[in-house]
Amino acid sequence: MEPRPRSFYWLTAFFLLFVIFLYGPTITIGILSFQGPQGGLTFPMNGVSTYWFHNLFQEQAVGDIWGAFRRSFALGLMVMVATVAISVMAGLAFRKRFAGSGALFYLTIAALVIPSILVSLGVGLIFNQIGAKVHWASSGFGAQLTWTLPFGLLIMFAVFNRFDKRFEEAARDQGATPWQTIRHVVLPIIAPSVVGVALFGFSLSYDEFARTLLTAGSHNTLPLEIFGMTTNVTKPVIFALGTLTTVFSFLIIAVFLGTLWLLGKRRARRAG
Amino acid sequence: MKKSDTLRGWALASPLALVLLAFLLLPIAMIMVVSFWQATEFAIVPAFSLENYQFLFSSPVTYKVFWATLRYALITWALTLLIGFTVAYYLAFHIRSNTAQTALFLVCTIPFLTSNIIRMISWIPFLGRNGIANQTLIGMGVIEEPLEWLLYSDFSVILAFVHLYTLFMIVPIFNTMMRIDRALIEAARDNGASGWQILANVIIPLSKPGIMIGTIFVLTLVMGDFITVRFMSGSQSANVGRLISNDIALLQYPSASATSVVLLVTVLLIIGALMRFVNIRKEL
């Protein structure tokens, strides 16, 4: 191998600094959430304890965190399933041009660039006018889809742009029906990306704030609950909550990455 | 285009179309309609009145706040572009093993899948009056009094934006860089181009589509934001998003809608201009 140019070392240092910048604050609140009962929001640590985690579990200390967590989790799963199904179908649709496909594509991109608060406001206004009550599982669900679907579709585009059509042609030549081709050839090939779409669907929904702000109704999702806390909680209990939900996000990511790894291994075994 | 293709296309794409119709197009249309309505203290009243727009355009606050929003967007854009390009360049051209590349790319993208609000909160122990930054600087003897402008200032707002959104630059730029034919770089080197010349004449021009997509992301995210500015400025700075959310909190929906329409038009004009330089579908 040729020797590394000097720029490599400068860039490595830059990259390391960037990673510290990216993760440093999160690690800091991870440490501070173990603050002693008398400790404050900043260093120094006033003893080490799990006091603030216990505090979270006491119902009266803060709002309805566990209810909010359950709702966010359920909503995340709903959004995940819908995002996967709708994105895969739309991804298949966009492989061939059809009348109006260009317009639909730009509408999807528009969903990505239109400020979230407008979606929140607009959906809230519509529900208000037709006399329906906003609820996280109806208006909140729909509003979040406008954020997850564009990502799902972009991932599907990326996959199908690199898709080798000869696999399908081979299946068709051997007499497979269109449905069989999709079920036994296309879906297995795109499976890893579908796992990626699912991860995006769940995580983006689980952390979404702006689009649920005016569409969740009287029962808050977790990000709304946390934001409510920021205005009146001045104790490390908020760090404990932040640490728990970040750990939860990391676990979810690990589950999905693990699934991807298993898929890859199974594929390698079959090929070998 | 065959008729059967159209039928097949819409059969598969109809769920997407329906969701976007119900939760994007109709809501935006509703905002446009309501922006001409009037509000009493308790309710909104259908009308056709230009009052909301007249008030908006005659108020000096509007111009000030739009300018502040644009300023946040431009500063954040410059910083995220600089950092994002450097990181993407490092990952694409200096990391040789595929596994390491994937792993480091994941390191950069994972925070995107965690909570933005928590990531904002996590700056408090760092930037606060008695935070790590101030303690370190005092300890080193650089300053005597804690700096007050670290938290709850424009500085912390921009810092949080850069922290949250640099990734939106890294991913598309990295994506385009990975598609640059390595033979072009070899050819440039064989012809005697220096590292900087290769960067300036080969890599940057070929990375333009990624830069454009990242730019679109960062500009729209910052311009539509209301929560980062509110939280990180300690409610001391304003941007258009906060103007809208304040009106919403006061149940002044028509006025909030009018501001939303103006914001939307501004954002779409900027995106429209940028889209002339890039074909998004080709770049995926």
What secondary structure, in 3-state letters, does chain A show? CCCCCHHHHHHHHHHHHHHHHHHHHHHHHHHHCCECCCCCCCCCCCCECCHHHHHHHCCCCCCCHHHHHHHHHHHHHHHHHHHHHHHHHHHHHCCCCCCCHHHHHHHHHHHHHCCHHHHHHHHHHHHHHCCCCCCHHHHHHHHHHHHHHHHHHHHHHHHHHCCCCHHHHHHHHCCCCHHHHHHHHHHHHHHHHHHHHHHHHHHHHHHCCHHHHCCCCCCCCHHHHHHHHHHHCCCCHHHHHHHHHHHHHHHHHHHHHHHHHHHHHHHHHHHC
> Closest approach of chain B CAs to the CA of A189, in angstroms?
18
Is A19 an interface residue toward B (CB < 8 Å)? yes
Could you give all domains of chain A from N- to C-terminal order, each with its CATH number? 64-232 (1.10.3720.10)
Contact B257 A125 (CB under 8 A): yes
pLDDT (tens digit, 9 = 90+) per residue, B138-183?
A: 888 888 888 888 888 999 999 999 999 999 999 999 999 999 999 9
Across the interface, whether the CB atoms of A96 and B9 are under 8 A apart is answered yes
B113–A99 CB contact, under 8 Å: no
> Of A94, A142, A249, which is closest to B113 when you measure between CB atoms?
A249
C-alpha to C-alpha distance for A219 and B234, rounded to whole angstroms = 26
- ipTM > 0.85? yes
Residue B124 pLDDT level (bands cut at 50, 70, 90): confident
Q: What is the pLDDT of residue A116?
A: 92
Cβ separation B118–A26 shorter than 8 A: yes
Separation in Å, CA of A174 to nearest CA in chain B: 23
Cβ distance B116 to A113 less than 8 Å, yes or no, reads no
Q: Which residues does chain A have within 8 Å of residue B128's beta carbon, measured at their own beta carbons?
A: 41-42
Among A51-65, A154-168, B20-34, B56-70, whose mean pLDDT is lowest? Answer: A51-65
Which residues of chain B make contact with A86, given a CB cutoff of 8 A?
A: 15-16, 19
Residues in A touching B214 (Cβ below 8 Å): none
CB contact under 8 A, A98 and B19: no
Note whether A226 contacts B: Cβ–Cβ < 8 A: yes
Cβ-nearest to A246 among B114, B220, B241: B114
Residue A6 is predicted with a pLDDT of: 83
What pLDDT, on the 0 to 100 scale, is given for residue A168? 87
* Segment B81-101 mean pLDDT: 94
Any A CB within 8 A of B98 CB: no
**pLDDT in the model for residue A232:** 67
Q: What is the pLDDT of residue B119?
A: 92
Which pLDDT value is given to residue A233? 66
CA distance B136 to A181: 63
Q: How far is CA B235 from the centre of its chain?
A: 20
Over residues B47-62, the mean pLDDT reads 90
The residue behind tokens 């803060």 is A62
Q: Which residues of A touch B22 (CB under 8 A)?
A: 142
Task: For residue B31, give the nearest of A18, A109, A118 by CB distance.
Answer: A118
- Computed over every residue of chain B, the mean pLDDT equals 90
Confidence of residue B264 (pLDDT cuts 50, 70, 90): very high
Residues from chain B contacting residue A45 (CB–CB below 8 Å): none
Question: Is residue B132's pLDDT more than 70?
Answer: yes
Below-70 pLDDT ranges, chain A: 1-2, 59-63, 232-233, 272
Confidence (pLDDT) at A272 = 65
For residue B5, the chain A residues in CB contact (below 8 A) are 96-98
Q: How far apart are CA A2 and CA A5, in angstroms?
A: 9
- Bridge partners of residue B39, in order along the sequence: B44
Interchain contact, A98 vs B6, CB within 8 Å:
yes
pLDDT of residue B74 exceeding 90? yes
Surface of A (72-101) touching B: CB under 8 A? 85-87, 89-90, 92-94, 96-101
What is the model's pLDDT at position B281? Answer: 67
Name the residue in chain A with its Cα closest to that of B9.
A93
For residue B228, give the chain A residue with the closest CA: A210
Predicted confidence at residue A94, as pLDDT, reads 92
Set out the domains of chain B in order of their start, with CATH numbers: 60-283 (1.10.3720.10)
Q: What is the pLDDT of residue B150?
A: 87
What is the structure's pLDDT at B1?
A: 60
Q: Does B235 touch chain A (CB under 8 A)?
A: no
Record: contact B227-A246, CB cut-off 8 A? no
CB of B172 closer than 8 Å to CB of B214: yes
Test A89 with B16 for CB contact under 8 angstroms.
yes
Interface of B with A in 50-79 (CB under 8 A): none
Q: What pLDDT score was predicted for residue A268?
A: 85
CB pairs under 8 A between A and B: 262
pTM for this prediction: 0.92
Chain A: nearest CA to B143, how far in angstroms?
19
Predicted confidence at residue A57, as pLDDT, reads 77
Residues in chain A within 8 Å Cβ distance of B284: 154, 157-158, 161
Portion of chain B with pLDDT greater than 70, in percent: 98
Answer yes or no: do A153 and B16 touch at CB < 8 A.
yes
Interface contact flag, B117 A142, Cβ < 8 Å = no
Q: pLDDT at position A63, please? A: 67
